[in-house]
Structure 1
Amino acid sequence: MTSQSTRETAATTAPPAPGGPSTRTKLGVLAAVTAVLAAVAVGYGLAADGKGRSAGRADGAVPLELTTDGARLLVVGDRYLNTVAAAEPDGPRQVGTLECVRSYAAGGTGVCAHPDTQWSYRMVVLDRELKETKSIPIPGLPSRARVSASGRMVNWTTFVGGDSYSGGGFSTRTGVYDTRTGQVLSTLEEFAVTRDGRPYQSPDVNYWGVTFTADDNRFYATLSTAGKRYLVEGDLAARTVRTVKENVECPSLSPDGTRLAFKEAVDADPAKGWRLSVLDLATMAVTATAETRSVDDQAAWLDDRTLAYTVRDGAGNPEVWSVPADGSGQGQLLVVGAESPAALR
């Protein structure tokens, strides 16, 4: 996630696999991380000073709720939680006081990747009234955040080395929090992997983009290893994952549980961009959406027919767009100056 994401930090300590990145490559990645972190620090400093915010942002803040009637959308606008009317997304916004770089909500539970300083972040879990119920320090720079449909399972992904999913020198950490039991799983990397029907182990395994099924135990995610990206189906209780299909990244399960929205690399080199597509889980058929721009995001389902996602305009500002999931129609701009959309069902 580069074009839409905030990036992630802290270098991996695992030794490179044979044939892995050279010292020169790793130094280049380190330099890129340093540059990204410096940019984030500057951006955070501006926000903390009140510069770069919309005029009256703090004074105009009002209490928000994670309503579940589908009437509003949750977004991050100008680094703060906002809600907009689903029927009038370009209309007036309710603006909260919680600063986030990523957010999501479902089933009356919210999650916010909150910056404590320019160098440290935590995942803040929120109840229906946006009151904090749990705070989890996280390593690196936040990239993805999701809540299961029931509101029970919260998950996140951070970059802890490198700054982009399109490069070969990145490393991620994907964690899960169970709001019912209070259990925090800091990484999926200890799960047993079955690749193409056989047990598989490698020090270069990375995960991102988790989406839970209705039972809050099975999940889908992206697994990266040996230069390939796989859709995996996981079992949280059993601590296992198995590969399902190649070239499926950042899956997002539809409300009816039959399809996965995902980003599909248009070439073997992900740096060339991704096409927002939909996978039918019964037939494994893939349908490309009408959105032809590169979408580097974990799309959200507004309903069983419509996807919402973030792209950047020509000046690099985030915008929330929507497009039909069946390949028809065309993309439509929903919310300017915003990202991390979630339908408050």
Structure 2
Amino acid sequence: MTPKSRLLILAVAVLLLAGLGTGFVLHAASQADEKNTPRAGGPAVAAGPVALTQKQRIAFVNSAAGPQRTDVATVAAARPGGARTAADLKCARFYAAGGTGVCLQTGLGLVAQTNRAVIVDSALHTLRTFALAGTPSRARVSPSGHFAAWTVFVGGESYGAEFFSTRTSIVDTRSWRLLPNLEDFAITLDGHKYRNVDDNFWGVTFAADDDTFYATLGTGGKTHLMKGSVSRRTIASVGVDNVECPSLSPDGTRIAFKKRVLAGASLWHEYVLDLRTLKQTPLAEHRSVDDQAAWIDDSTVAYALPKEGDTKSTDLWSVPADGSGSARLLIADASSPAPL
């Protein structure tokens, strides 16, 4: 190849890279403009301090269009449709309890996508940051704030995909000891020790004793409700299948979960399981819910659903936990509910 040819190829490459760079900048700028433009008739959002020790409020991720989109926000539990206060902490998923929060973040680095879990104190100040092995999916904190857990996709993009892989981690927020993968725990399924290459755990929910937790195990084409112990590094099946994304009630007696109602399809309905009798009660939400529900109180669960006409936003809905009543809009343009 002649020097002239090399120079020509170099010049073309520079022009192509410049064009790509300009395209990325313009695309990012258009996204930023869209993101920073509040929607007419949308909820009132004001920047301000947010404290996880506030009482009678609900924390969530704000998805209303405007500069506070994806910020952690709170609203009065008695007036969930009222004005919300948004802090300067952006999250893809968020949960808080006991004055501790876990914020799962995703973004583009210089070379590739960067994902991380950020543990925050009651004033949303960063305490510790952990790199994530994949795309954020679920997040939970134990009632005392002692433990935080998260699930990420390391392969596949949804629980409805034919093939997907997850990784679920638990961190002690006092010692900062990280348990990077629940698959490393001693697993017991149907009374027998179990281990399979397709094991996937997701959707941790903690009990009040700072040791017991529940989660979903997906293996062999089925999902199982599992009960674990942080201190013993064990997790065993409860005897109930077709349970995904469990959420333990504040009184510790029931679990809200999503149940696949059509084999091979991404269609789930919300149920509540009584842990004493193992009776399952279908809730009065007839749309498909792909979320880990949160208990707003002992009688109400909340969950996110895609916002009609806006693929970039979700609304929070709630429904009675006893199967009565009907679903109602709780907080518009919101996700990741956490009652404070």
**What TM-score do the two structures reach when normalised by structure 2?**
0.84
Partner of 1:177: 171
Partner of 1:62: 48
Identity of aligned residues (%): 49
Q: 1:339 to 1:46 in 2, by over 3 A?
A: farther
Partner of 1:95: 86
**Equivalences for residues 217-228 of structure 1 within 5 A:** 217-228=211-222
Partner of 1:211: 205
The one-letter amino acid paired with 2:315 is E
Deviates more, 1:322-331 or 1:47-56: 47-56
**Equivalences for residues 91-240 of structure 1 within 5 A:** 91-117=82-108, 119-240=113-234
Partner of 2:284: 290
Asked if residue 256 in structure 1 is aligned to residue 255 in structure 2, the reply is no
Asked if residue 52 in structure 1 is aligned to residue 63 in structure 2, the reply is no
Q: What does the per-residue CA deviation read over 1:177-228, in whole Å, with 9 as the maximum and x for residues that have no partner?
A: 1112211111111112111111111111000000111111111000000111
Partner of 2:59: 74
Deviates more, 1:220-229 or 1:310-319: 310-319
Q: Is residue 283–residue 324 contact of structure 2 (8 Å, CA) maintained in 1?
A: yes
Give how far 1:265 is off: 0.7
Q: 1:74 to 1:158 in 2, by over 3 A?
A: same
For residues 319 and 81 of structure 1, what CA distance do their matches in structure 2 show? Answer: 15
Q: Report the count of equivalent residues.
A: 300
Q: Is residue 116–residue 122 contact of structure 1 (8 Å, CA) maintained in 2?
A: no
Q: 3-state SS of the aligned residue for 2:81?
A: strand
Give how far 1:72 is off: 0.9
Q: 3-state SS of the aligned residue for 1:64?
A: coil
Partner of 2:326: 330
For residues 330 and 299 of structure 2, what CA distance do their matches in structure 1 show? Answer: 16
Which entry has the higher C-alpha Rg, 1 or 2?
2
Q: 3-state SS of the aligned residue for 1:189?
A: helix
Q: Is residue 307–residue 333 contact of structure 2 (8 Å, CA) maintained in 1?
A: no
For residues 82 and 218 of structure 2, what CA distance do their matches in structure 1 show? Answer: 40
Q: 3-state SS of the aligned residue for 1:302?
A: strand
For residues 234 and 195 of structure 1, what CA distance do their matches in structure 2 show? Answer: 12
The higher-RCO structure (CA 8 Å, 6+ apart) is 1
The partner residue of 1:340 within 320, 336, 339 is 336
Q: 1:101 to 1:47 in 2, by over 3 A?
A: farther
For residues 188 and 30 of structure 2, what CA distance do their matches in structure 1 show? Answer: 44
Q: Return structure 1 stretches of 4+ with deviation > 3 angstroms.
A: 44-51, 53-57
Q: 1:46 to 1:104 in 2, by over 3 A?
A: farther
Give how far 1:116 is off: 4.5
For residues 285 and 68 of structure 1, what CA distance do their matches in structure 2 show? Answer: 35
**What TM-score do the two structures reach when normalised by structure 1?**
0.83
For residues 47 and 73 of structure 1, what CA distance do their matches in structure 2 show? Answer: 32
Give how far 1:48 is off: 7.8
The one-letter amino acid paired with 1:263 is K
Give how far 1:121 is off: 1.3
Partner of 1:267: 262
Q: 3-state SS of the aligned residue for 2:105?
A: strand
The one-letter amino acid paired with 1:133 is L
